[in-house]
Structure formats: C-alpha cells, structure tokens
Structure 1
C-alpha cells in the first residue's frame, strides 16, 4: 500500500487549501490521506504562526471532518488528538509512516518576521519527514511541472531514502532547475550537479535538469527571485539539522523561504 499523505488541519481556510493540494497529489500517487486535527492548539496559535486557539466540541470536530472529506476521490482517515502540535505530529508519523506531511501557512507578509515562529522547522525537527508548506495566498492545486531546488554549495545526504518524495517525482516527471546562490563570483563555481548527484535524491530518476546560478549576498531573497524568474511551481529546500537551531546558511534561507515564498515549499530534512 502506498504511504499516506498526512495533512495537518485546524479547519481554517489555510489548512483547507493544504488539503486540496494534498488530495491532488494523493490522487496522482493513488495514496490515502490522513487528516489530523490537534485539539489542544491550532496551527495558528502563538507556538505556531500568529493566531489563537479554537476550542471545538466533539460534534463540531466530526462535522468539520465530514464537510472537508465529502467528495474526495481518495481514501481518508481522520484523527483528532489532544496534545502539543510537535508531539502529536511525531506520534502520527510513527504510527502511519506518511510519505509527506502537508501544512497550510497563513499570509504573514504584514507581520514582522520576529513575531512569526518557524513552525515548519519545529515540525521537521520532531518528525524528520518531508514537509510541504502551502502558503496563503496561493493558487488552487495544479500538479507542479517545474521545481526550483536551491542548495547552499555544501554536500548533503539523507538518513533514510526519501521514497515517498522520489515516487512523487517519478509520477510528476517535472523539470528541475538547480539553483546555487553564491555571495561572490568565486563561490559561483560550486559543482551543483555533483552535490545533487551525491545526495541520491534523484537516484533512479531521469529528470531534465537546468542550472540557474546566482551571485547575490542576500541569499533568501535571491532564491525567491530565482523561483519567480524561472517560473517554478514549487520551491524545494534541503533543510540541514543545523537549520533547526537557526545557525549559518539556513538561519535565513530555510526560515525566510517558508515565511515569504508565495509558492509551495517542499522541505527535505537531511541527515
């Protein structure tokens, strides 16, 4: 059986959009969905992005699940748990072993960055499972045909094969643009193709790969501009363990991409 896609919901428009994206991907993969509602805290509470906790009755939760799963073309399992978000997600990942976790992100462009915690990185740290962040505002789901993969010029690898992500890439057969943003012209010569090959991310896959090197000292902004320039549908970022603690390259890149990208961002936790 194909591994499920796990969708976090708080029954908000943001998570509803994430569910629509996940349903389109699940239909392509012929995979089931797991819709997880964490009762104690909303995805928009102060520990997540910026909102408040919504307390719902059992009937309200059941009705909300029924409304959102009606008409979906793939099997759906719903689950409501009472826990902190990272712990609840970690338990669900251990139980269901999803190929991908899908999360909706509210529009925080008018909120100062220092007031918006990077929930995505916290969830990566607790699960080490690929995470697809769907921002608002974003378009309704269209299967991506062009991905921008941004790397930092250092080798990376994965503790376990990203089987679910590789299966998704095999089904999508997208174009892939490999982007290395260098702060100096000398650093631009990094062998991005060799780094990608060494990661084994595309092992067994034959995808058309283009390169888009950029020289710019403002790395996060340059990556987002590059994604717009090449008209990518998704942004893909390997997230190093050090990024969980806000150090070095990923302090700005991973967090800022999640915060400010208008495209879906696929985060791949590295070993």
Structure 2
C-alpha cells in the first residue's frame, strides 16, 4: 500500500506551496496524495443570505471540478476529498480512511489571520487526528526534501506516538544532519541532556553525537529556537507536541503555536504520548 500524504487545500498560494513541498516528500517513499478541501457553505455567510440552494450545489460542483483538475496535473497518484463537515470531522474522516504518514498545511506569508488559522486548523488537526502535521510557509523557496534538521527539545523525556514513529523510513531517506536545540534558563542547572537523550532514544533523526546538542540561554523559548534555526541554517524544524500543547484551549498560547506562526522554515509537529 502506498503511504498517503494528506494536503489541505483551498487553492491559495500557501496551499499550493505546501502541496509542491509535500510532493517531493511523498515521491521518496512511493507515496500517494490526498487533496482535502473543506467546503465553506456560502449559506453560512451573513452577506450571502440570498444565495439559493442551486447556487450552493453549483459552487460545490465547481470546487470538485477544480480539485479533480489539479489532481490530474500532479505526477503522483492523487485522490480528492471534498467535505462539508467541520474541519475536525473532515480530518478525522480522511485519517480514518487513509491512515496518512502526515497532514500538510500551508501558512500564508502576509496574513492578519495567522493566529486564527493555527487555532482553527492546526489545533483541531493535532487534537483530533493525533497525526504528524507539516506546516509550510508560503515564502519557503525550496521544494527539495530537507537535509538540515533542528529538533526542538525541552528538559523532559518523551515517547513518540506510533504515528510519529511511522515517519522513520521517510526521514531516513533524507539522510539528515540533525541538531537538537534546547532553550535553557538564564541561570541555574541545565536539563538539556534529558531532552537530548529522549530524542536520541527514539532513533528517528539519524545518528546523534554529543556535538549534536545546541543550547540557547537567556532567550524566550520560541525566539531562542527560531534564532538557532537561522544560525544552524536548518531547512526543517521538528517540534514535539505533548498532549497538553493542544488540549483545553492551551494551543494558541503554547510554544508549538508560536513556532508554527513564526518559523521561517517548514515545521514538522510530531505528537508524543506524554
């Protein structure tokens, strides 16, 4: 069975960037694509109160045709899925049907709605699906698979979910050079080695030596990680998302959300079990 890569699309430039990037990843493992479009019913918009049911059906048919046309243009096997459900329900349905390696989402380059996008899209994906999530900035210039990884680790141990560990074959194809980044306190003892050993134990990111640990001091966590990404010239940031990251309304205040919003490089979010 060819592994599936689900790409959320609304036909925007950001979604197209995420799609092009994901194609390169899927091609490495003989994967297939699933284009998911969550249809926004115009009848739900106040200014569209006069829209009739035939026009709604016509709009849906047009979206289906656009999805099918885009799928035919792609070099990998591609399925399309149009949903009229809530995003969380649509994602849950696609995940149950395809059991993808990851879900991919684009991030607009200039948008005042980025925080809302992350809360309403990335949050439900992580909370409902518990699958790896890839967020690709619209401005990201490269389509090639990543070679220089930064894994952001805190001072606590963790175990990855089976869905996160399933990315092992894909990541191995990258043959990445990986650095584990830890942002420690300005004063006092460091717990960097705890997070580093947890990353090394999962054996997902290639060989790690003691020189693979990079610690930042005297910076806020998200800002320190972003600075490390730039200094190390990384082309992918890996973030470990614990359950409390996106439950009980905490997602929009978490370090994960800040990194999704501000990272200049694609971000791969891997759910952990604790």
- For this structure pair, what is the TM-score category when the shorter chain's length is used for normalisation? 0.7 to 0.9
User: d(CA) in 2 for partners of 1:183 and 1:41?
Assistant: 48
Contact 1:146–1:176 (CA under 8 A) maintained in structure 2: yes
Higher helix share: 2
Instruction: Kindly state the Cα deviation for residue 211 of structure 1 after the two structures are TM-superposed.
Output: 1.6
User: d(CA) in 1 for partners of 2:76 and 2:87?
Assistant: 25
Structure 1 residues 113 and 135: CA distance shift in structure 2, 3 A: closer
Alignment partner of 1:60 out of 59, 62, 70: 62
Q: Larger Cα Rg: Structure 1 or Structure 2?
A: 2
Instruction: Kindly state the Cα deviation for residue 114 of structure 1 after the two structures are TM-superposed.
Output: 6.3
Instruction: Kindly state the Cα deviation for residue 64 of structure 1 after the two structures are TM-superposed.
Output: 1.6
Structure 1 residues 160 and 150: CA distance shift in structure 2, 3 A: same
Number of aligned residue pairs: give it.
Answer: 256
User: d(CA) in 2 for partners of 1:169 and 1:76?
Assistant: 22
Structure 1 residues 247 and 227: CA distance shift in structure 2, 3 A: farther
Deviations 1:62-103 (A, max 9, x none): 332234223322111111111011110011101110011011
Residue 200 of structure 2 is matched in structure 1 by 197
User: d(CA) in 2 for partners of 1:106 and 1:113?
Assistant: 7
**1:129 match: secondary structure:** coil
Residue 93 of structure 1 is matched in structure 2 by 95
**1:186 match: secondary structure:** coil
Residue 12 of structure 1 is matched in structure 2 by 12
Instruction: Kindly state the Cα deviation for residue 248 of structure 1 after the two structures are TM-superposed.
Output: 8.4
1:51-130 to structure 2, matched below 5 A, reads: 57-108=59-110, 111=112, 117-118=118-119, 119-130=121-132
**1:147 match: secondary structure:** strand
Instruction: Kindly state the Cα deviation for residue 28 of structure 1 after the two structures are TM-superposed.
Output: 1.1
The answer as to 2:140 corresponding to 1:147 is no
User: d(CA) in 1 for partners of 2:98 and 2:235?
Assistant: 28
1:199-218 to structure 2, matched below 5 A, reads: 200-202=202-204, 206-208=206-208, 210-218=212-220
Structure 1 residues 190 and 270: CA distance shift in structure 2, 3 A: same
Structure 1 residues 148 and 206: CA distance shift in structure 2, 3 A: closer
Residue 225 of structure 1 is matched in structure 2 by 227
- List runs of 5+ in structure 1 lacking aligned partners: 46-54
Structure 1 residues 241 and 163: CA distance shift in structure 2, 3 A: closer
**2:90 match: secondary structure:** helix
